[in-house]
Amino acid sequence: MKIGLGINYAGGFKEVAAEVADLERAGLDIVFVPEAYSFDAVSALGYLAASTERVQLASGIMQLYTRTPTLTAMTAAGLDYVSDGRFILGLGASGPQVIEGFHGVPYDAPIARTREVVQICRQVWRRERLQFDGEHYTIPLPKDRGTGLGKPLKLINEPVRERVPILLAALGPKNVELTAEIAEGWQPIFFLPEKAGDVWGRALAAGRAKRDPALGELDIYAGPVLAIGDDVEPLREFVKPHLALYIGGMGAKGKNFYHSLATSYGYGPQADRIQELYLAGEKEAAAKAVPDELVRDVSLIGSAGFVKERVAAFREAGVTALNVVPIAETPAARVKLIETLRELV
């Protein structure tokens, strides 16, 4: 099982580059660079490519709506080049709060757009003269929508790989099914091993039934919070505000993917209460309403024996990589956590 870690997108990536190099030496396999509405992910990924040697570098995630499909493909090819073939293209739809609120772009048809973006990227990497006539993207633009001067072009540079691995962040059944069909990797959120089959099993099976064998097996990247020690259980309280934010605040009533996920896990009444409190502005009360059992089961916080048992549960549920969020106050402590987790994995 691989071990990954996401850098803090709210800080400066110069400050984390030295730490990532130390984490690489400690056994880290993948670094994920988020892209919300802070610095862009590409700048950090390029910087990290120059300061690391072995660790894979993943966008976690680039948003579908903020770049044209061809620019996404060009960027991925460039990052794969500067990292000597270590890049993973993480893509996701994000949500209306960011796409419409920060970028001013309509949030529409995320599933159909995902399929088309992936198709276009792979054509670009194969250096085909790009001609694409989809529901949402048409390349080149037809005469009645442009100047009439556009013509099919192909990527000038020869990519390091003609298929950069694509990782999709997906939550809903249709999106998860699409991911299992067309992507190399899947990044769920708040992955609960014992419930994953009930929630996503049917969608994963449907997608895998249509999957091209050339893609290989689907990698699953879970993202648990990590703390290992004999007295770290109180740190689970730090996870609750994050869960409350998503379950209660990421969307209106009836339009919150994360509330639906918690409900699918069997926490429907608690999810309703969290949402009610959060939308009323009572964020601390919403965090306190997050069930202890939910935090325990989606995290890796406990003794070495407990964490080892939970790692086995994640593995049994099909997880191939743990994209952990370490709770540690210093870079040295984070490195130590990764070293300890490597021993347990």
Task: Write down the residue that tokens 């990797």 correspond to.
Answer: 185
Q: What percent of the residues of the chain are helix, what percent strand, and what percent coil, each to the nearest 5?
A: 50, 15, 35
What is the model's pLDDT at position 2?
Answer: 97
> What does the pLDDT profile of the chain (345 residues) look like in tens digits?
999 999 876 667 777 888 899 999 999 999 999 998 888 999 999 999 999 999 999 999 999 999 999 999 999 999 999 999 999 999 999 888 889 999 999 999 999 999 999 999 999 999 999 999 999 999 999 999 999 999 999 999 999 999 999 999 999 999 999 999 999 999 999 999 999 999 999 999 999 999 999 999 999 999 999 999 999 999 999 999 999 999 999 878 888 989 999 999 999 999 999 999 999 999 999 999 999 999 999 999 999 999 999 999 999 999 999 999 999 989 899 999 999 999 999
Angle between helices 193-209 and 304-316 (to 10 degrees): 20
Contacts of residue 229, defined as CB under 8 A and 6 or more positions apart, other chains included, come to: 303, 304
DSSP letters, 72-95, are HHHHHHHHHHHTTS-EEEEEE---
Give the dihedral of Cα atoms 20, 24, 27, 31; nearest 10 deg.
Answer: 60
Residue 169 near residue 189 (C-beta atoms within 8 A): yes
145-128-212 Cα angle (round to 5): 105
Q: CA–CA separation, 326 vs 8, rounded Å?
A: 11
pLDDT, residue 127, reads 98
Confidence at residue 10, expressed as pLDDT on a 0 to 100 scale: 67
Q: Please state whether beta strands 132-133 and 138-139 pair in parallel, antiparallel, or not at all (unpaired).
A: antiparallel
CA–CA separation, 320 and 1 (whole Å): 5
pLDDT value of residue 16: 84
For the chain, the distance separating the N- and C-terminal CA atoms, rounded to the nearest angstrom, is 7
Confidence (pLDDT) at 7: 86
Range list of H helices, the chain: 13-26, 41-51, 69-82, 96-99, 110-125, 173-182, 193-209, 240-244, 257-264, 268-279, 283-288, 292-298, 304-316, 331-344
In sequence order, which ranges of 106-172 are alpha helices (DSSP H)?
110-125
Write the DSSP symbol of residue 9.
T
Nearest-angstrom CA–CA distance, 324 and 341:
10
User: 2-226+301-344 in CATH: which number?
Assistant: 3.20.20.30
CA distance 83 to 55: 9
**Other residues' Cβ atoms within 10 Å of the Cβ of residue 170:** 28
